[in-house]
């Protein structure tokens, strides 16, 4: 059964069409990658799916786990099991990572009809998950993303994903701003979450990330549409040839 | 060095009938026999009659209009002895010393003054006016001498109605382990005016913590007009906190003068949540060297409320530090006012001053008037200030919601985080936790 089914999705920002008929279906257990040049609409797609304000859906539909995704509020989408790992994680001074994650997890548990975790249970969980990502207790106590390096911010995204256990994780340019060591740690964290129940959509400009998070399916997004779909070898092909054949001269190297 | 906060006032803005009403209300007070105290009242009346209420034509009152105050009944509250009281607010877990006032009148039956260290005097002014009027007059006169030229119409009005208030005198070297709570409650449904006076002396090397509570219910247009005179001696420490939750039809005006001596520490914080109009005007005179003054505050208001925090930090001597963080959350048609003046006089070399004022506007119709003012006459000083006003950050809201946190919870988290930066200035942990909880309760009612 398909986890998410995007049909003929059109979206615009300030009257300018960005997505012009995206079709994409991900089944549980699959990892899909979307590659494409700058300005192709990659980030727009991830924001539209997460429910960010400022995007107008002009046509099409998105069915997520049997629900009309576009009819849900942002937090309802998260509770339904959708997770967006941000390209630029947001800093929130005055709110600690621990408080933030506890509020998030318990809100999601509530909508699932589960009882909230108490402080001890939560601490145990978050410590175990943080350890997997080589994150210290100190990072958990710090304000959300404040004073974090680029790599720490992305690890923090992976930690949130590990704690919230989404059905579908969308990784928006997770490799941007990461050196190779940080990239490996984050990719390892993501790979741990791969499983038959979970789908992933990895959005990236570069092939590099896909060496570590190996996709089942690769799509090329350009000019607001999926232009080509293939296996993981498509990523290597794009790396070699760039996006020229899609009418765009932006080289992918 | 006089009158920086309050340039010349004129009575032109106040109707003659209002001043007449003030004059008529005064004889309702219990008479004072002591000549100095009687004279203090009479001179207060004289000065107020000349000045009238401050108007927005006065620079110091440009943003805060007292219109409506002259429509209030200025008669004192009826005898408060029989007013039933259900709950007396406290910031403390353990019962400590406290003075309770209802409608400005001391309630001995609700107060606790036993168990204080030897030599510490904590009492109501009304009790001291009967028991030791000379001692009270001496203390007040000594305090006033430290603030020459600090004339102020609302202080004059307070003086004219001197009847009750709190006296705390901590002798040299004595440390009060427990905070002293001063609780001022408005009787429900009473439209009246009261003018409590606070007389606080913390002598050399002594230490004390004061928590003021001011609270009332909506539905009564009353005036609570407080004046405080505070002196902190050499090497002494005073923590002075205030939480204001007056009824939303009330006027709350507090005018504080604090004098700090060498190497003293003054840690003060005001939290404004209530009143239709609240003005907290605090002047700190740093009259010695190596003083640390922490003058901060926060407010959270909605509806038609006005919260005004006006401060003067007067660096008169070298090698002192002052730090001021004032943050406010403004919803509805409410308006926040911050006027923060720092003066660094020619002798005050090596002054280190820091001031931050930030406002969070939650609605299109909310407003902030912020006026930071630095007057620096010394050349070797470090002074910085910043003022910002903004809305809730949309990226932060989206991030929290994208992780499953519902919109209203996310809002409360972000507002709480915003205010915490100010609340963190409160040194006393119990008080900090209590003030935070009070602000969180405000957010709860705003959401409802």
Mean pLDDT of B381-397: 95
- What is the model's pLDDT at position B8? 43
- What is the model's pLDDT at position B26? 81
**A53/B406 CB distance under 8 A:** no
Tens-digit pLDDT profile for residues A142-165: 999 999 998 899 999 999 999 999
Nearest to A61, CA basis, from A70, A51, A72, A48 = A70
Q: Is the dihedral of CA A15, A17, A22, A28 positive or negative?
A: negative
- What is the model's pLDDT at position A8? 98
Tokens of B351: 């002054």
- What is the model's pLDDT at position A28? 95
Determine what percent of chain B is predicted with pLDDT higher than 90. 83
- What is the model's pLDDT at position A248? 62
**Cβ–Cβ contact B400 with A under 8 A:** yes
**Cβ–Cβ contact B377 with A under 8 A:** no
Confidence class of residue B256 from pLDDT cuts 50, 70 and 90? very high
Tens-digit pLDDT profile for residues B95-107: 999 999 999 999 9
Q: Which residues of B touch A95 (CB under 8 A)?
A: 413-414, 417
Is the pLDDT reported for residue B147 higher than 50?
Answer: yes
Between A and B, how many residue pairs show a Cβ–Cβ distance under 8 A?
Answer: 76
- What is the model's pLDDT at position B302? 96
Q: Are strands A16-27 and A2-13 parallel, antiparallel or unpaired?
A: antiparallel
- Burial status of residue B79 (CB atoms within 10 A of its CB: 0-12, 13-18, 19 or more): exposed
Tens-digit pLDDT profile for residues A96-113: 999 999 999 999 999 889
Q: Which residues of B touch A78 (CB under 8 A)?
A: 401-404
Q: Could you tell me which chain A residue has the CA closest to the CA of B406?
A: A75
Tens-digit pLDDT profile for residues B223-251: 999 999 999 999 999 999 999 999 999 99
Determine what percent of chain B is predicted with pLDDT higher than 70. 96
Tens-digit pLDDT profile for residues A49-79: 999 999 999 999 999 999 999 999 999 999 9
> Of the given ranges (B60-74, B88-102, B260-274, B357-371), which has the lowest mean pLDDT?
B60-74
State the alpha helices, DSSP H only, in B112-255: 125-131, 133-144, 153-160
Kindly list the structural domains of chain A, giving each domain's residue range(s) and its CATH number in brackets, ordered by start: 2-246 (3.40.50.300)
- What is the model's pLDDT at position A134? 85
Helix (H, G, I), strand (E, B) or coil at A22: strand
- What is the model's pLDDT at position B274? 97
- What is the model's pLDDT at position B212? 98
**B421/A100 CB distance under 8 A:** no
**A51/B418 CB distance under 8 A:** no
**B403/A53 CB distance under 8 A:** no
Confidence class of residue B10 from pLDDT cuts 50, 70 and 90? very low
Q: Cβ atoms within 10 A of the Cβ of B132, count?
A: 16
- What is the model's pLDDT at position B263? 98
- What is the model's pLDDT at position A247? 66
* Averaged pLDDT of chain B: 93
Q: Give CA separation, B344 vs B1, B259, B296, B378, B402, in Å.
A: 12, 16, 18, 6, 48
Confidence class of residue B17 from pLDDT cuts 50, 70 and 90? confident
Nearest to B163, CA basis, from B257, B277, B25 = B25
- What is the model's pLDDT at position A253? 36
Is the pLDDT reported for residue A27 higher than 60?
Answer: yes
- What is the model's pLDDT at position A249? 52
- What is the model's pLDDT at position A6? 98
Distance from CA of B369 to the nearest CA of A (A): 25
Distance from CA of A160 to the nearest CA of B (A): 8
Spatial separation of the C-alpha atoms in residues B257 and B52, rounded to whole Å? 21
Mean pLDDT of B107-126: 96
């Amino acid at each position: 059964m398909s986890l998410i089914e995007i049909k003929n999705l059109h979206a615009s920002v300030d009257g300018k069409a960005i997505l012009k008929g995206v079709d994409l279906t991900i089944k549980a257990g699959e990892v899909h990658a979307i590659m494409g040049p700058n300005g192709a609409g990659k980030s727009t797609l991830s924001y539209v799916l997460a429910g960010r304000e400022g995007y107008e859906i002009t046509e099409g539909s998105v069915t997520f786990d049997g629900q009309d995704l576009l009819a849900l509020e942002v937090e309802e989408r998260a509770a339904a099991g959708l997770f967006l790992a941000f390209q630029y994680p947001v800093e929130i001074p005055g709110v600690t990572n621990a408080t933030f994650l506890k509020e998030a997890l318990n809100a999601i548990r509530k909508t699932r009809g589960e009882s909230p975790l108490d402080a001890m249970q939560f601490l145990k969980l978050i410590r175990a998950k943080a350890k997997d990502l080589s994150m210290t207790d100190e990072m958990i106590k710090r304000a959300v993303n404040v004073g974090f390096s680029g790599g720490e911010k992305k690890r923090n995204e992976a930690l949130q994903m590990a704690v919230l256990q989404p059905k579908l994780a969308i990784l928006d340019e997770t490799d941007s701003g990461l050196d190779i060591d940080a990239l490996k740690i984050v990719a390892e964290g993501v790979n741990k979450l791969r499983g038959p129940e979970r789908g992933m959509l990895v959005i990236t400009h570069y092939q590099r990330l896909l060496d570590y998070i190996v996709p089942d399916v690769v799509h090329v997004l350009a000019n607001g549409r999926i232009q080509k779909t293939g296996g993981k070898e498509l990523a290597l092909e794009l790396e070699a040839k760039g996006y020229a054949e899609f009418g765009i001269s932006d080289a992918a190297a | 060095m006089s009158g920086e906060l309050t340039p010349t006032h004129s009575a032109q803005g106040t109707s003659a009938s209002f001043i007449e009403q003030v004059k008529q209300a005064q004889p309702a007070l219990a008479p004072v026999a002591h000549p100095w105290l009687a004279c203090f009242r009479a001179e207060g009346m004289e000065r107020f009659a000349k000045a009238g209420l401050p108007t927005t034509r006065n620079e110091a009152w440009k943003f805060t209009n007292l219109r409506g105050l002259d429509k209030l009944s200025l008669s004192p509250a009826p005898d408060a002895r029989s007013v039933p009281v259900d709950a007396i607010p406290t910031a403390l877990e353990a019962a400590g010393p406290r003075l309770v006032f209802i409608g400005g009148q001391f309630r001995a039956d609700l107060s606790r003054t036993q168990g204080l260290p030897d030599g510490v005097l904590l009492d109501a002014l009304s009790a001291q006016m009967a028991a030791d009027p000379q001692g009270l007059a001496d203390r007040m006169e000594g305090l006033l001498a430290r603030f020459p030229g600090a004339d102020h119409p609302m202080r004059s009005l307070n003086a004219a109605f001197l009847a009750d208030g709190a006296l705390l005198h901590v002798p040299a070297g004595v440390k009060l382990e427990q905070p002293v709570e001063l609780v001022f409650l408005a009787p429900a449904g009473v439209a009246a005016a009261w003018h409590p006076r606070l007389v606080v002396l913390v002598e050399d090397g002594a230490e004390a913590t004061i928590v003021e509570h001011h609270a009332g219910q909506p539905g009564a247009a009353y005036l609570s007009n407080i004046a405080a005179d505070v002196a902190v001696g050499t090497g002494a420490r005073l923590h002075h906190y205030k939480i204001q939750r007056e009824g939303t039809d009330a006027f709350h005006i507090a005018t504080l003068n604090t004098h700090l001596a060498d190497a003293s520490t003054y840690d003060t914080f005001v939290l404004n949540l209530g009143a239709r109009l609240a003005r907290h005007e605090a002047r700190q005179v740093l009259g010695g060297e190596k003083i640390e003054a922490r003058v901060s505050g926060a407010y959270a208001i909605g509806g038609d409320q006005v919260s005004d925090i006006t401060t003067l930090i007067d660096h008169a001597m070298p090698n002192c530090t002052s730090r001021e963080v004032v943050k406010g959350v403004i919803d509805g048609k409410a308006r926040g006012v911050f006027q923060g003046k720092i003066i660094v006089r020619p002798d005050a070399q090596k002054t280190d001053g820091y001031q931050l004022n930030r406002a969070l506007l939650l609605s299109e119709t909310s407003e902030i008037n912020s006026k930071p003012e630095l007057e620096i006459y010394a050349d070797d000083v470090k002074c910085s200030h910043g003022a910002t006003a903004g809305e809730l950050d949309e990226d932060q809201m989206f991030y929290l919601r994208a992780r499953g946190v519902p919109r209203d919870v996310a809002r409360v988290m972000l507002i709480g985080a915003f205010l915490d930066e100010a609340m963190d200035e409160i040194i006393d942990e119990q008080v900090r936790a209590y003030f935070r909880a009070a602000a969180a309760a405000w957010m709860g009612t705003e959401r409802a």
